[in-house]
Amino acid sequence: MPSTKRLSDRLKLLNFEDDEVEDSLVIGIDFGTTYSGVAWATRVDFANGQVNFITSWPGHGREEGKAPTELWYSDDEEPAWGYEVPVDADPFRWFKLLLVRVEDLKPEVRDSKFLVRARAMMEESGRTAVDLVADYLRLLWEHITSTVDRARGETIVEALPIHVVITVPAIWESYERRAMEDSAKKAGILKYRLAGATKLTFAPEPEAAALSTLHEQGSGVRPGNVYIVCDAGGGTVDLISYEVKSTKPIVLAEAVEGTGRLAGGIFIDETFEQMCKGRLKHKWNQLSKAGLRDVMKNEWEYGIKPQFRPGKVGKTHIVSLPAELFRETASSLNDTKRKPYIKDGRIHFTDDDIKKPFANVFVDIKELVEGQIQKATKKGISVTGIILVGGLGASPYLYDYLKAMHSKAGITVLQSGGIKPRTAICRGAVMKGFLEEPDQHGVSAPIMIASTVSRASYGIDFLAKFDTLHHVEEDRVWDYDEALWMARNQMTWYLKRGQIVSRTEPVRMPWYNTYKPWKFDGTLSVILFQCNDEVPPNRKTSSVQQLGTLRCNLDILYSDLPKFRNHQGDRMKKLNFELEMVPSGASVEFVLYADGRKQGSKSVKISFE
């Protein structure tokens, strides 16, 4: 353990009987760029191997695993969501991606027609991305609570302790997760209930997918197997690699640092729309909102795209065009002067035509998968298989594409099959909720993640005794409490990017602060920092960003603090404390010990400015 520095400014298996632990409810929300899904289970459900999915949605007659992540406001500002959005409306779409700062987007993503339009609509409406996400989550939450209560014939949502787990892209930065937390609060998910406070946590989408799909593999999973879970969704593609350490229960350890990028289904859709527009020219711009929806939703998204599998010679893929395009003259029903041909009001695309929209996104996925394999190889790890999840992950074309690429290397490509592929992530979110605190929920863990790989470096800054050999002159500052020249801006990193971290081995470091009577107010504040550099610097530079501030109301009186005398003989008091840091899924947890005692969770608050 490092020496004390001065600051500048467990996973257990439990199996309780039903009557030993009060029932609880975990709700997993897969809030996606294009579609969102929900799963839920009580403790009793989960102990019996049952996870419930919401498959009935307002405005839709068929059972579906997800509802569109779309939002529309009427003239009186009443919002409609999902399948309730009118067919002739122009709804807000892709607003999940608007939580990402423009400067953090790659140029090709930033300039995407879909995102440019989504941002313009948001700005014109006077709303923020948090406003839009909150309105959607509020309507979704109302549907969740009514569905759960109807399923059990009682108001269990009010009666039971609730843990809500929302999945987020693993590539998201802390500010994006904070925006999601703000949205959830604004949506009313955390409002007061008779059963007490609702707990909210986040889970990386690929981690939730891994819990669900690898548990689903069951007896097919062997110790030493290494799987890359590729979550290809509507707006992001996230990859995470796990090594199976043991079975019964399945214990996973993240093998290498996960990766991801903004890519996915909406960028395929955008290219297809450009193809249609290029073929129809000005007529495409004359389409009504309902007509555009017919082509992009019914013909493409629900028709060709999810089932496309190239290979049959001479096969055509027909897109029926709305009748409104042919009102002027019947002769325009046919155009065989250039390809793709238009016959009887239908565009006849070839296999090669349909391959084009997938091309760029598939290249991104290929690079991400190869990157994971290369990282594993450098560590002497052999990849066993690639598991595809997410909306795009269910594509037979993507399956064939990756299978052909990796079959010679003996890497198996799998798609979630036992359960609906589109519900794998929200099911995994429910599992994450129960497995995160097994002692609270009183359940056995059929699968668990023993360790992860940190995607960033986390630490705090401190003052060190100035040394001309180790410190720069600009950091030199006189410390009146210590009566010494000190070096400010020095960094200590609890976790470094790429480091393997186990929840059972938290990282704890000792610190101290000095106080004169008028400076001690019974509170302690610690500024937390994050750095995404491959190797974090040992002093605070521009790449070191403030993550947040931990504030704690101490259960210690000034008179109880030990005495401290500086180099000039001045008397004051000294507070000894320890800060423990543990990454947990999509977040970082902090525990503070002051004067040798753990400070209660209710007195420790982390705020993000």
pLDDT digits (tens, 9 = 90+) for 391-450: 899 999 999 999 999 988 999 998 865 445 578 899 999 999 988 765 555 566 678 888
C-alpha torsion angle, residues 313, 314, 319, 325 (rounded to 10): 160
CB 530 within 8 A of CB 458: yes
> Nearest CA to 243 among 232, 235, 251?
251
Q: Radius of gyration of the chain from Cα atoms?
A: 27
> What digits encode the pLDDT tens for the residues 539-562?
999 999 888 888 888 888 889 899
Strand partners, 394: none
> Nearest CA to 430 among 25, 21, 16, 22?
25
- Would you tell me how many other CB atoms lie within 10 Å of the CB of residue 593? 15
**Cα(30)–Cα(175) distance, rounded to whole angstroms?**
19
> Nearest CA to 266 among 235, 236, 294?
235
Q: How far is CA 548 from CA 6, 179, 499, 520, 588, in A?
A: 19, 13, 21, 22, 11
142 burial type by CB count under 10 A (0-12 exposed, 13-18 middle, 19+ buried):
middle
CB 46 within 8 A of CB 441: yes
> What digits encode the pLDDT tens for the residues 458-507?
899 999 999 999 999 999 999 999 899 999 999 999 888 888 877 657 78
| Chain centre distance of CA 320 | 37
Residue with the bigger pLDDT between 85 and 449: it is 85
Length of the chain measured in residues: 609
The pLDDT assigned to 503 comes to 63
The DSSP code for 96 is: G
The pLDDT assigned to 180 comes to 95
Q: Describe the crossing of helices 265-280 and 113-125 by its angle, rounded to 10 degrees.
A: 100
The proportion of the chain whose per-residue pLDDT surpasses 70, expressed as a percent, equals: 90
The proportion of the chain whose per-residue pLDDT surpasses 90, expressed as a percent, equals: 56
Question: What average pLDDT does range 318-333 have in this prediction?
Answer: 78
CB 534 within 8 A of CB 595: no
pTM of the model: 0.83
pLDDT at 118 over 90: yes
> Nearest CA to 459 among 379, 545, 551?
545
The DSSP code for 303 is: I
**Cα(212)–Cα(246) distance, rounded to whole angstroms?**
16
The pLDDT assigned to 587 comes to 58
Residue with the bigger pLDDT between 3 and 428: it is 428
> Nearest CA to 22 among 42, 7, 5?
42
CB 117 within 8 A of CB 289: no
CB 165 within 8 A of CB 190: no
The pLDDT assigned to 553 comes to 85
Residue found under tokens 């419930």: 52
pLDDT at 108 over 60: yes
148 φ, ψ to 5°? -65, -45
The pLDDT assigned to 583 comes to 60
